Structure 1
Amino acid sequence: MFKSKFIISVSLIIFISFSSFAQTKRAITVDDLWAMKRIGSFSLSPDGKTIAYTVTSYSFGTNKGNTDIYLIDADGKNLRTLKNSEKNESEPKFSPDGKSIAFVRDGQIWQCNLDGSNEKQLTNIYTGASDFEWSPDGKKMLFVSSVYPECTTQDCNEQKDKAYEESKVKAEIFTELMYRHWNDWRGHKRSHLFLLDIATGEFKDLTEGNKEDVPPPALGSSNDFNFSPDGNEVAFTLNPEFSTAISTNNEVYLLSLSSPSSPKLISTSKGVDCQPVYSTDGKWLAWTSMKRAGFEADKKDLILFDRKTGKMKNLTEDLDRSLEEFIWSTDSKTIYFTAQNEINSSIYKLDVESGNAELFYKENYNTSISISSDGKTLFFIKQRANLPSEIFSLSTDGRNTLRQITFVNKDLLSQLEMNSVETFWCGGANGDKVQSVLVKPPFFDPNKKYPMMFLIHGGPQGAWEDNFHYRWNYQMFASQGYVVVAPNPRGSTGYGQKFTDEISGDWGGKVYTDLMNAYEYAVKNFPFIDSKNTFAAGASYGGYMINWIAGHTDRFNALVSHAGVFNLESMYGTTEELWFPEWEFGGTPWQKREVYEKWSPHRYIHNCKTPVLVIHGAKDFRVPEEQAFQLFTSLQRLGVESKFLYFPDETHFVAKPLNSKLWWNTVYDWFKKHLK
Structure 2
Amino acid sequence: MTADAPASPSLDLRDVEAFLRVPRVSAIAAGPGGRAAAVVQEADEHLSRLVPALWELTAEGPARRLTVSEKGESSPCFAPDGSLLFTSSRPDPTGEAPEGTTAIWRLPLAGEAQVLAHAPGGLELLDVAGDGTILAATSVLPGVSLEEDAEARAARKDAKRTTIWHTGMPIRQWDHERGDSSRHLLIVTAQGELRDLTPDAGTLPLHTASAVLARDGRTVVTEWTERIARGETRTSLVRIDGATRERTPLLEATDEHGYDSPVLSPDGRLLAVTRSTVSTPTDTSYGRLEIHDLEGDGVVAVDLGDLTAGQVVWQADGGTLLVSGDLHSSGAVLAVDPSTGAVSTLADGGVFSSLSPAEDGSVLALRSDVATPARPVRITAEGVVELPAPGAVGPLPDTLEKVTTTVGGVEVPGWLCTPVGASAEDPAPTLLWVHGGPHSSYNAWSWRWCPWLFTARGYAVLMPDPAMSTGYGDAGLNRGWPRRPDVVLAECEALLDLVLERPELDGTRTAMLGASFGGFMANWIAGHTDRFDAIVSHAGLWALPQQHRTTDAAASKMRVHGHEDADPEWYRAYSPNAAAAAITTPMLVTHGSRDFRVPISEALRLWWDLVSHWDGAPEDMPHRFLQLTSENHWVLTPSNALTWNETVLAFLDQHVRGGEPIPEALPW
Same fold (TM over 0.5): yes
Q: Return the letter of the residue paired with 1:497.
A: D
1:540 aligns with 2:516: yes
Aligned to 1:395: 380
1:627 aligns with 2:608: no
SS in 1 for 2:500: helix
CA contact 1:288–1:323 (8 Å) conserved in 2: no
Aligned to 1:192: 184
Aligned to 2:622: 641
Aligned to 1:510: 487
Query: How far 1:441 moved relative to its partner?
Result: 1.6
Aligned to 2:20: 34
5 Å matches for 1:200-599? 201-213=192-204, 215-217=206-208, 224-241=210-227, 246-247=232-233, 249-268=234-253, 270-292=256-278, 298-316=285-303, 319-375=305-361, 377-396=362-381, 399=382, 401-410=383-392, 413-414=393-394, 417-419=396-398, 421-428=400-407, 430-445=408-423, 448-465=426-443, 467-524=444-501, 526-585=502-561, 587-599=562-574
Aligned to 1:105: 88
Query: How far 1:500 moved relative to its partner?
Result: 1.2
1:166 aligns with 2:145: no
Q: Unpaired runs of 5+ in structure 2?
A: 1-9, 90-101, 615-620, 659-668
Structure 1 vs Structure 2 CA RMSD: 2.4
Query: How far 1:650 moved relative to its partner?
Result: 1.4
CA contact 1:339–1:347 (8 Å) conserved in 2: yes
SS in 2 for 1:604: helix
User: How far, CA to CA, are the matches of 2:16 and 2:228 in structure 1?
Assistant: 39
5 Å matches for 1:74-85? 75-77=59-61, 79-85=63-69
User: How far, CA to CA, are the matches of 1:539 and 1:204 in structure 2?
Assistant: 43
Q: Return the letter of the residue paired with 2:558.
A: E
Query: How far 1:489 moved relative to its partner?
Result: 1.1
Deviation digits for residues 271-327 of structure 1 (CA, Å, limit 9, x no counterpart): 3422212222332111122133579963322211111113323122x7343321122
Aligned to 1:150: 143
SS in 1 for 2:404: strand
Query: How far 1:146 moved relative to its partner?
Result: 0.8
Deviation digits for residues 17-68 of structure 1 (CA, Å, limit 9, x no counterpart): xxxxxxx874442112211111122211123x11011111103515112111
Q: Return the letter of the residue paired with 1:305.
A: H
Query: How far 1:124 moved relative to its partner?
Result: 2.9
Structure 1 residues 439 and 353: CA distance shift in structure 2, 3 A:
same
5 Å matches for 1:59-138? 59=44, 61=46, 63-73=48-58, 75-77=59-61, 79-98=63-82, 100-106=83-89, 107-115=102-110, 117-138=111-132
Q: Which has the higher contact order (CA 8 A, sep 6+)?
A: 2
Q: Return the letter of the residue paired with 1:439.
A: C
What count of residue pairs does the alignment treat as equivalent? Answer: 628
Query: How far 1:540 moved relative to its partner?
Result: 1.0
Query: How far 1:552 moved relative to its partner?
Result: 0.8
Q: Return the letter of the residue paired with 1:522.
A: V
Identity, % of aligned positions: 24
Query: Which shows bigger deviation, 306-315 or 618-627?
Result: 306-315
Aligned to 1:652: 633
Structure 1 residues 177 and 194: CA distance shift in structure 2, 3 A:
same
User: How far, CA to CA, are the matches of 2:252 and 2:323 in structure 1?
Assistant: 20
CA contact 1:538–1:561 (8 Å) conserved in 2: yes
Query: How far 1:527 moved relative to its partner?
Result: 1.6
CA contact 2:434–2:513 (8 Å) conserved in 1: yes
CA contact 1:344–1:364 (8 Å) conserved in 2: yes
User: How far, CA to CA, are the matches of 1:264 and 1:90 in structure 2?
Assistant: 32
User: How far, CA to CA, are the matches of 1:244 and 1:182 in structure 2?
Assistant: 21
Query: How far 1:409 moved relative to its partner?
Result: 2.0
SS in 2 for 1:145: strand
Deviation digits for residues 389-446 of structure 1 (CA, Å, limit 9, x no counterpart): 11011212xx3x2211023124xx34x7344531111122x33211111111245557
CA contact 1:550–1:609 (8 Å) conserved in 2: yes
Q: Return the letter of the residue paired with 1:91.
A: S
Query: How far 1:373 moved relative to its partner?
Result: 1.2
User: How far, CA to CA, are the matches of 1:522 and 1:78 in structure 2?
Assistant: 42
Deviation digits for residues 504-556 of structure 1 (CA, Å, limit 9, x no counterpart): 235223112112212211212x2211011101111111111111111111111
Q: Unpaired runs of 5+ in structure 1?
A: 1-23
Structure 1 residues 503 and 76: CA distance shift in structure 2, 3 A:
farther
CA contact 2:205–2:226 (8 Å) conserved in 1: no
User: How far, CA to CA, are the matches of 1:82 and 1:438 in structure 2?
Assistant: 39
Structure 1 residues 495 and 252: CA distance shift in structure 2, 3 A:
same
User: How far, CA to CA, are the matches of 1:641 and 1:419 in structure 2?
Assistant: 31
